[in-house]
């Protein structure tokens, strides 16, 4: 679970609720079903017009990535690749069958090596897989970005509806309050949904896409280097270019330890 997303979302909503409850007046005034219907329901329907049904539904599936555990850091996956490169160089590619790989993309690449696919076929297959993963995540972020744009507009529409209702019944003072509530609360709901939910989720999904793309690029380079029989130390230097300079040393010790372990296990 990504605590940053969860704590940020719950924390922001909690601050709003606390401000409502400690303020003057009845907190129940901030609950208005017509306003919720206009903003939330209207936003979803307008966004559905902008995208296909599959893209719309897929965005909510991809949204789970914003709450899942963080994408592995490059300095944490490089040692695993170097370990496999060392083992493959000493015992052959088939020896990689006994290594457990958690990363699905890397596992696909290693499986292709074990199955004897050519370097070109491996590159094409993994590159296409990277492209499709990137596209799914990109559309998910675009859907939530669109929702962030639409929600304030729906809030303004609700405000206009409330004003029309209020002005059309000015002769009855009892109807002015409810109509004004719709007018103001729709703007509030639209601002909350856009700035505290939809836009932050779109930004987090964009970040996830960039992080996963970097990890997949590392895995692709590693798989191809293993297939070509590149020396592990040369491969290590190549892959560490993906890591920011002040963190490159973090991958050194794990690499040496795992490489030595693999070498000791080799006959």
Q: What is the mean pLDDT of the chain?
A: 84
Q: Is residue 22 part of a domain?
A: no
Residue 263 pLDDT grade (very low, low, confident, very high; cuts 50, 70, 90): very low
- Is residue 202 scored above 70 in pLDDT? yes
- End-to-end alpha carbon distance in the chain: 41
Residue 100 pLDDT grade (very low, low, confident, very high; cuts 50, 70, 90): confident
Contact at 8 Å (CB) between 209 and 141?
Answer: yes
- Is residue 262 scored above 50 in pLDDT? no
Mean local confidence (pLDDT), 3-23: 87
- Is residue 69 scored above 70 in pLDDT? no
Query: What's the CA angle centered on 87, arms 82 and 89, to 5 degrees?
Result: 95
- Is residue 265 scored above 60 in pLDDT? no
- Is residue 258 scored above 60 in pLDDT? no
Mean local confidence (pLDDT), 226-234: 88
The pLDDT value recorded for residue 70 is: 67
- Is residue 206 scored above 50 in pLDDT? yes
Domain count for the chain: 1
Contact at 8 Å (CB) between 181 and 162?
Answer: yes
Region class of 7: left (phi > 0), else alpha (psi between -120 and 50), else beta: alpha
The pLDDT value recorded for residue 257 is: 46
The pLDDT value recorded for residue 259 is: 42
Tell me the C-alpha distance between 96 and 99, whole Å. 5
Q: Tokens 């079903």, residue?
A: 33
| Interval 154-191: pLDDT, tens | 999 988 888 887 777 777 777 676 677 777 888 999 99
Q: Is residue 14 part of a domain?
A: no
Q: Is residue 182 part of a domain?
A: yes
The pLDDT value recorded for residue 20 is: 87
Q: Is residue 5 part of a domain?
A: no
DSSP state of 229: T
The pLDDT value recorded for residue 47 is: 95
Q: Is residue 16 part of a domain?
A: no
Alpha carbon dihedral 85, 86, 91, 96, in 10-degree steps, equals -40
Segments forming the whole domain that contains residue 105: 32-267
Q: Is residue 24 part of a domain?
A: no
Mean local confidence (pLDDT), 198-210: 90
Q: Is residue 17 part of a domain?
A: no
Mean local confidence (pLDDT), 16-34: 84
Tell me the C-alpha distance between 29 and 137, whole Å. 39
- Is residue 251 scored above 80 in pLDDT? no
Of 50, 54, 113, 56, the closest CA to residue 81 belongs to: 113
4-8, 70-74, 175-179, 219-223: which is most confident: 219-223
Q: Is residue 25 part of a domain?
A: no
């Amino acid at each position: 679970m990504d605590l940053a997303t969860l704590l940020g979302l719950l924390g922001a909503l909690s601050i709003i609720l606390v401000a409502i409850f400690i303020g003057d007046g009845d907190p129940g005034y901030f609950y208005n079903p017509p306003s919720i219907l206009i903003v939330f329901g209207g936003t979803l329907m307008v966004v559905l017009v902008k995208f296909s049904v599959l893209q719309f539904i897929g965005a909510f599936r991809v949204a789970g990535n914003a709450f899942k555990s963080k994408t592995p850091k490059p300095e944490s996956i490089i040692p695993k690749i170097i370990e496999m490169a060392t083992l493959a160089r000493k015992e052959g590619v088939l020896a990689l069958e006994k290594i457990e790989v958690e990363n699905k993309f890397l596992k696909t690449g290693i499986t292709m090596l074990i199955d004897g696919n050519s370097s070109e076929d491996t590159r094409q297959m993994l590159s296409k897989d990277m492209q499709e993963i990137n596209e799914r995540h990109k559309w998910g972020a675009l859907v939530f970005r669109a929702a962030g744009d639409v929600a304030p507009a729906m809030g303004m529409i609700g405000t206009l509806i409330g004003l029309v209702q209020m002005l059309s019944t000015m002769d009855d003072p009892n109807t002015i309050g409810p109509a004004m509530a719709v007018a103001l609360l729709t703007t509030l709901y639209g601002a909350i949904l856009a700035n505290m939910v939809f836009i932050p989720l779109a930004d987090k999904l964009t970040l996830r896409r960039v992080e996963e793309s970097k990890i997949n690029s590392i895995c692709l380079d590693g798989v191809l280097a293993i297939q070509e029989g590149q020396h592990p130390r040369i491969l290590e230097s190549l892959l560490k270019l993906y890591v920011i300079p002040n963190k490159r040393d973090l991958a050194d010790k794990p690499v040496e330890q795992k490489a030595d372990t693999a070498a000791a296990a080799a006959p």
